[in-house]
């Protein structure tokens, strides 16, 4: 269940341009550290409070439901979400953002895929969970599990995004 | 991942975050550099190349994609949009989101610099309730009087434009969010 509802079933894909441009602006002006701070603080913010609360109250089933609904509302996403008692596993076969940016020949911020880790891990930590990510640059695997159950995220296992 | 479905929500949060961390001037620079000159570079190129026809083409596509309720009219000397139900501000109002003191300023924050770069200026009013109007004219040309034939679609002439709760911001021949009339 998504916390905020729109009158349309899916978002406007051109907004991915603004997301990518926001990352570039912060990185260029203030460096990667401030961009990471932006991602982390967004995950910790009141904006995601309803999501954090739902994950805290209802655990992994709520995490699975959130991501199913989330990707259904993102145009051209192809994602399988599976849930077991220990984890929620997202197989992102086609990332909607990278797909749209590439289709429109946009220069993609190389660390683009790291935002998934920093935002989601900050958000998940509020509910006692963590995320680990492998892959990127258009397709990746994301695993949500109880906090402390896996090794720290290796940023090297998140691919840099290529531009066309 | 942050997505495009609830984009307006985290976009608004971002305005407040940038302003708090780096100040208002950096927020103005963000709208100009990140949105006008990077994200919306396709709009900028189209309007620079085709003028009013480019505006019609750009907003025809983007407002349809965003699901806006609006009217527009393209003349020889101006292009006008009347926004009857802004999908962007509407998303925030419908979901009770209010992180930044004036979300509506972001539009002129990026459109103003883009128009300046293409040789146009902006006459504009917004009521912070999801309604606004825009009229673009070439630099140096006089402000257009309202077209009487279009009066039925002019948002400022309609009920609901200025209820007692509305605070109306006005811009006259502007090219940026910092040119709001007192």
**Which of B64, B182, B62, B155 is closest to B114 using CA atoms?**
B62
For the segment B73-90, what is each residue's pLDDT rounded down to a tens digit?
998 899 999 999 999 999
- Mean of the pLDDT values across residues A132-144? 98
Q: Which domains does chain B have, with CATH numbers?
A: 7-179 (3.90.1520)
The three-state DSSP-derived secondary structure of chain B is CCCCCCHHHHHHHHHHHHHHHHCHHHHHHHHHHHHHHHHCHHHHHHHHHHCHHHHHHHHHHHHHHHCCEEEEEECCCCEEEEEEECHHHHHHHHHCCCCCCCCCHHHHHHHHHHHHHHCEEEEEEECCCCCEEEEEEECCCCCCCCCHHHCCCCHHHCCCCCCCCCCCEEEEEECCHHHCCC
For the segment B108-124, what is each residue's pLDDT rounded down to a tens digit?
999 999 999 999 999 99
Share of residues in chain A with pLDDT > 90 (%): 98
Element (DSSP H or E) covering residue A111: none
Gap from B22 CA to chain A (nearest CA, Å): 10
- Mean of the pLDDT values across residues B135-148? 82
Across chain A, mean pLDDT equals: 97
Q: Do B13 and A8 touch (CB under 8 A)?
A: no
Q: Tell me the C-alpha distance between B56 and B71, whole Å.
A: 11
Gap from B93 CA to chain A (nearest CA, Å): 11
> What is the predicted pLDDT for the residue at B122?
97
pLDDT at B158 > cutoff 60: yes
Domain ranges of chain A: 15-157
Q: Tell me the C-alpha distance between A94 and A81, whole Å.
A: 13
Across chain B, mean pLDDT equals: 93
pLDDT at A164 > cutoff 80: no
| ipTM surpasses cut 0.95 | yes
> What is the predicted pLDDT for the residue at A26?
98
The pair phi, psi for residue B110, each rounded to 5°, is: -105, -35
Q: Do B38 and A24 touch (CB under 8 A)?
A: yes
Topology of domain A15-157, per CATH?
Answer: Muramoyl-pentapeptide Carboxypeptidase; domain 2 (3.30.1380)
Instruction: Give B-chain residues touching A38 at CB under 8 angstroms.
Output: 14, 17
């Amino acid at each position: 269940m998504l916390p905020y509802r729109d009158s349309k079933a899916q978002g406007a894909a051109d907004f991915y341009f603004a997301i990518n441009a926001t990352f570039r602006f912060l990185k260029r002006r203030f460096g990667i550290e401030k961009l990471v701070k932006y991602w982390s603080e967004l995950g910790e913010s009141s904006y995601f409070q309803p999501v954090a609360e739902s994950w805290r109250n209802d655990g992994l089933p709520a995490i699975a439901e959130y991501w199913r609904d989330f990707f259904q509302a993102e145009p051209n996403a192809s994602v399988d979400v599976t849930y077991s008692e220990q984890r929620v596993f997202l197989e992102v076969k086609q990332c909607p953002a990278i797909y749209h940016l590439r289709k429109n020949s946009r220069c993609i911020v190389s660390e683009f895929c790291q935002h998934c880790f920093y935002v989601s891990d900050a958000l998940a930590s509020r509910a006692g969970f963590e995320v680990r990510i492998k892959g990127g640059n258009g397709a990746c695997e994301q695993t949500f599990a109880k906090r402390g159950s896996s090794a720290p995220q290796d940023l090297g296992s998140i691919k840099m995004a290529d531009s066309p | 991942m942050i997505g495009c479905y609830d984009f307006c929500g985290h976009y608004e949060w971002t305005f407040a975050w940038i302003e708090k961390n780096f100040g208002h001037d950096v927020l103005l620079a963000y709208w100009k550099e990140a949105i006008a000159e990077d994200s919306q570079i396709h709009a900028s190129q189209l309007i620079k190349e085709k003028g009013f026809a480019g505006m019609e083409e750009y907003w025809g596509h983007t407002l349809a994609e965003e699901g806006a309720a609006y009217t527009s009219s393209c003349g020889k000397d101006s292009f006008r949009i009347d926004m009857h139900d802004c999908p962007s501000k509407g998303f925030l109002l419908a979901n009770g989101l209010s992180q930044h003191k004036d979300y509506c300023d972001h539009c002129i924050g990026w459109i103003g610099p883009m128009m300046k770069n293409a040789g146009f200026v902006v006459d504009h009013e917004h009521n912070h309730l999801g309604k606004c109007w825009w009229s673009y004219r070439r630099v140096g040309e006089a402000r257009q009087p309202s077209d009487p034939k279009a009066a039925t679609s002019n948002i400022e002439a309609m009920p609901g434009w200025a209820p007692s709760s509305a605070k109306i911001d006005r811009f006259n021949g502007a090219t940026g969010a910092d040119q709001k009339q007192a």
